[in-house]
Amino acid sequence: MVKNTFAVFGILAVLLLTLGLTSAYTSTQDSIKVTTTTELPNPVAPGSTYIVKVNVTNNNGTAVNLSWADTAATSGITATVPANDTLANATSKEYSITYSIPSGFTGTVDHKVDVNAYSGSTKIAGFHPYSTANYTSTSVISGCTDPTATNYNSAATVDDGSCTYSSTTTFCDEFSGEKGDLEISGFEIINNGQGDDEEWEYLDEIEIEVTIENTGNDNINDVMVEIMIKDDNNNIITRKDVDLNDDEIDLGRINDDDEETATFKIGELPIDMSEGDYRIYVRAYEDGNEDSECASKSNDFTNTAETYYEFKIVGSDGATVIVKKDSTKTQTSCGSENVEVRFMVYNTGSNDEDKILVILENSQLGIYEKAVIDNLRDGKGKEVAFYISIPEEVAKTTNELKIYTYYDYDDDEDELDELLAYGESSEDEGDDFSTLLEVLSCQSPTPTVSANLESETEIGKELTVKALVTNNGEENDFVISVSSFEAWASLVSVTPQTASIKKGEFQEVVIKLMPKTAGIQSFNVETIIDGEVYTQSVSVNIAEEPTIFSGISDTTFYLITGIVLLLVLIFFVVLVKVISRPRKQEF
């Protein structure tokens, strides 16, 4: 009895030790946290390649340099570690370690991968995500590992290339097989989400285009196109399961040597769909004449027998919380306040989440906002709203607002279970959670325009004004012109008409006009920046065109005028005397 008791305790101890060795690694040093988010399977299969995901969070207060190394490789096994990298403060990033298990490998995998954090050349932390993890290997069993093959071997651990497929079983077999002149001439998957044609992600919007051709010499009436989706266990997936708009489309009549296209749409790939392999079967037939007209093969399909298209539903790298990737943009303008940004957050995990912290961030715009979602159940989504302010001075462009989500969140916890979506998606990074903000219009600070007269101001002579245009904002391109002069002058030239002016600097502009009307006149100097027009008024006094009296002083003018009047008076006096003198009579 005693021996049995000790045996039981011994077995429990070994089990606990094994669990400890194979559980996810997590460690925090100097506010740098390293966690494995994706593990090797246990046991591993010989001849297989596995990717282990390691998440590194830096809250050290400064950027750190990460140095990766494979320090103790199991004989025959290779591990490809991430390239050395720099991780900014208050950011996280997921890295991939690729393990290649050779064919015929047996025993245990005992690998040591180190990552060290440096501040400059000083090491501040060291981690060993796989320093003591032991994984046993299955025995090598060669055979066909494809469940869709006719010779599938469920016990096989290594695919030996022996798979064979039936060339007779098609979607048309429910009628009387492949017959007639209909042909599936085109099959295309259009993924409008973040996944691709062969790997679909949750919330992706999918379009399936099927082109049917009539290769015969007669018209075919009432052509129906039907699709069927099956999982890797051969279970049929219904329309409601995948949010499919329809599973059968009526193309009507297809004339001879003509073709038509049916488009099936998956509005939003549900988050409760299981990850794994799926197949799409297609058939086209003439309604009421199925035994004579049916096609279900296509050269565009991916399997050997050309009877179905294969795709995968992939998760979000172990994510529990995901944000819908949306192509819509929030539109705003510079200086706007309380701009509303909304998006959906979904729980794709197997547990309900009491609290989820969501952070919206763009460092260039000075945006860092937080929101908390309460009670997000498994398989459900909730909308979150942020209200942000846009700086007065910002480029008119489309900006990416990055989204960070934290689940199992508690205000009192120092450490969070973190899911980071940052930057462009790649093999070494997590999902790209973001939304777009488009700045449509901005008004730059008003430029300063000062004008000086450089020539005489009179009718008939060219008027020259020198203007200094000073840029009070960021470096920008300026367009310079003049207006409101047409009533009193004609334009000769504006030099230069365009200029790139740096912040705080000025551009000299020479404006030449030909006056045609005297008096106090005015015109506008206009500067155009990013479509905004800024106006500065300039006034000038235009003199009359010179006469013979031009240049004579008022005193001289009055004196001459007096003399002329006196001479005129003398002339009239003499004339009167001459006229009034008596004439002699002539006999």
Q: Is residue 145 helix, strand or coil?
A: coil
Same domain, 191 and 274: yes
Residues in the chain: 587
Going from the C-alpha of 466 to that of each of 106, 469, 488, 496, the distances in angstroms are: 88, 10, 19, 11
- Quick one: pLDDT band at residue 130, thresholds 50, 70, 90? low
Least confident of 294-298, 316-320, 374-378, 545-549: 316-320
- Quick one: pLDDT band at residue 303, thresholds 50, 70, 90? confident
DSSP character string of 501-553: E-TT-EEEEEEEEEE-S-EEEEEEEEEEETTEEEEEEEEEEEBPPP-TTTT--
Query: Looking at the predicted structure, is the pLDDT value of residue 61 above 90?
Result: no
Same domain, 36 and 115: yes
Query: Looking at the predicted structure, is the pLDDT value of residue 462 above 80?
Result: yes
Domain membership flag for residue 319? no
Least confident of 106-110, 197-201, 420-424: 420-424
Same domain, 303 and 255: yes
Q: To the nearest whole number, what is the mean pLDDT of the chain?
A: 80
pLDDT digits (tens, 9 = 90+) for 238-257: 888 888 988 999 999 999 99
Domain membership flag for residue 268? yes
Task: Supply the pLDDT for residue 383.
Answer: 87
Domain membership flag for residue 86? yes
Domain membership flag for residue 481? yes
Query: Looking at the predicted structure, is the pLDDT value of residue 168 above 60?
Result: no
Same domain, 432 and 528: no
- Quick one: pLDDT band at residue 498, thresholds 50, 70, 90? very high
DSSP character string of 169-206: --GGGGTTSSBSSEEEEEEEEEE-SSS-SSEEETT--E
Strand 381-388 with 367-376, pairing: unpaired
- Say if CB 525 and CB 535 are below 8 A apart: yes
Domain membership flag for residue 66? yes
- Quick one: pLDDT band at residue 41, thresholds 50, 70, 90? confident
Same domain, 511 and 468: yes
Domain membership flag for residue 17? yes
- Say if CB 157 and CB 140 are below 8 A apart: yes
- Quick one: pLDDT band at residue 292, thresholds 50, 70, 90? very high
Same domain, 118 and 183: no
How far is 183 from 225, CA to CA, in rounded Å?
11
Same domain, 280 and 201: yes
- Name the domain count of the chain: 5
Domain membership flag for residue 579? no
Domain membership flag for residue 393? yes
Question: Would residue 486 be called left, alpha or beta, if left means φ above 0 and alpha means ψ between -120 and 50 degrees?
Answer: alpha
Range of the domain at 563: 548-574
pLDDT digits (tens, 9 = 90+) for 316-332: 554 567 777 665 688 88
Same domain, 222 and 241: yes
DSSP strands (E only) in 160-292? 182-191, 199-201, 206-214, 220-231, 236-237, 248-254, 259-266, 276-286
How far is 372 from 356, CA to CA, in rounded Å?
6
Beta bridge partners of 158: 142
Query: Looking at the predicted structure, is the pLDDT value of residue 229 above 90?
Result: yes
DSSP secondary structure code for residue 349 in this structure: S
Task: Supply the pLDDT for residue 419.
Answer: 41
Task: Supply the pLDDT for residue 42.
Answer: 72
CATH number at residue 273: 2.70.50.60
Task: Supply the pLDDT for residue 343.
Answer: 85
Same domain, 336 and 468: no
Same domain, 251 and 192: yes
CATH number at residue 435: 2.60.40.10
Least confident of 120-129, 355-364, 472-481, 515-524: 120-129
Hey, which of 132-136, 217-221, 378-382, 565-569 has the most confident mean pLDDT? Answer: 217-221
pLDDT digits (tens, 9 = 90+) for 375-403: 888 778 888 899 999 887 777 788 888 88
Same domain, 413 and 516: no
Same domain, 96 and 126: yes
How far is 327 from 192, CA to CA, in rounded Å?
9
- Say if CB 114 and CB 71 are below 8 A apart: yes
Which of 390, 412, 439 corresponds to the end of one domain? 439
Query: Looking at the predicted structure, is the pLDDT value of residue 7 above 60?
Result: no
> What's the angle, vertex CA 429, arms to CA 426 and CA 430, rounded to 5?
110
